[in-house]
Chain A
Amino acid sequence: DGGITQSPKYLFRKEGQNVTLSCEQNLNHDAMYWYRQDPGQGLRLIYYSQIVNDFQKGDIAEGYSVSREKKESFPLTVTSAQKNPTAFYLCATSRGVQPQHFGDGTRLSIL
């Protein structure tokens, strides 16, 4: 089946630790995105990528990093510089002018 796979579903981070959230897609979509969702708020864009080896900051990129070495993969690293990482993280993809498709999300919590 074609789709977007985010893993893990739940993730815990210790103080000072970097953690990486995985996003893999087999939809052959060019563009990939990372969003953050906090309670009572909509989604906010962290980073996006249009093609391999290219990515750009969104609205809330501080404390996060990404890479796009393969078309299918767009991992997000939450660094220790992100002081409030507890949130629900959603990966999305799109092709052309079609709407974005979303993965099932990863919930990140602080230990």
Chain B
Amino acid sequence: AQTVTQSQPEMSVQEAETVTLSCTYDTSESDYYLFWYKQPPSRQMILVIRQEAYKQQNATENRFSVNFQKAAKSFSLKISDSQLGDAAMYFCAYRSTALRPTGTASKLTFGTGTRLQVTL
């Protein structure tokens, strides 16, 4: 079974600075997806960024980028120019290949999350 580990329960960053959130995972699969989701106080889960394992290039979305190290099974999230609105819980998630031979439903395995505080 896949596992996802986020070793930083809490992180703090000053506004306009850069912060990196860590995530490691364990899997025997070669083809998978990795995600970072943001959960603000409203509790809504918002997709921040995704990475396909077969792509060597690191994904970027505006101020958010990842450092994907497949051999090391590491998937960190870098937030540049941090803003007050970035304050939230951040979850790293691993998406398995399809749950059944037919169909496309897939399971997300989540880490325990990192609470990010943004200070003035």
Contact = CB atoms under 8 A, between A and B. Distances in A.
Nearest to A9: B43
A40 B105 contact: no
Secondary structure of the B side of the interface? loop
A88 B33 CA distance: 25
Interface in B73-120: 91, 93, 95, 99-100, 103-113
B43 A105 contact: yes
Interface residues of A, number: 29
A111 interface: no
Given A42-B4, A99-B35, A31 B103 contact: yes
Given A50-B105, A99-B35, A42 B42 contact: no
Nearest to A104: B44
Interface residues of B, number: 25
Nearest to B1: A59
B45 A41 contact: no
A42 B103 CA distance: 25
A43 B110 contact: yes
A58 interface: yes
B99 A48 contact: yes
Interface in A57-111: 58, 88, 90, 92, 94-97, 99-102, 104-105
A104 B100 CA distance: 27
B108 A43 contact: yes
Contact of A105 (B44, B47, B95, B103): B44
Contacts of A41: 112-113
B107 A45 contact: yes
Contacts of A95: 104
Nearest to A100: B108
A31 B105 contact: yes
A48 B107 contact: yes
B50 A30 contact: no
Interface of B: 4, 33, 35, 42-45, 47, 50, 91, 93, 95, 99-100, 103-113
Q: Which 9 A-B pairs have the closest CB atoms?
A: A42-B110, A102-B45, A50-B103, A31-B105, A50-B105, A43-B110, A105-B43, A48-B105, A99-B47
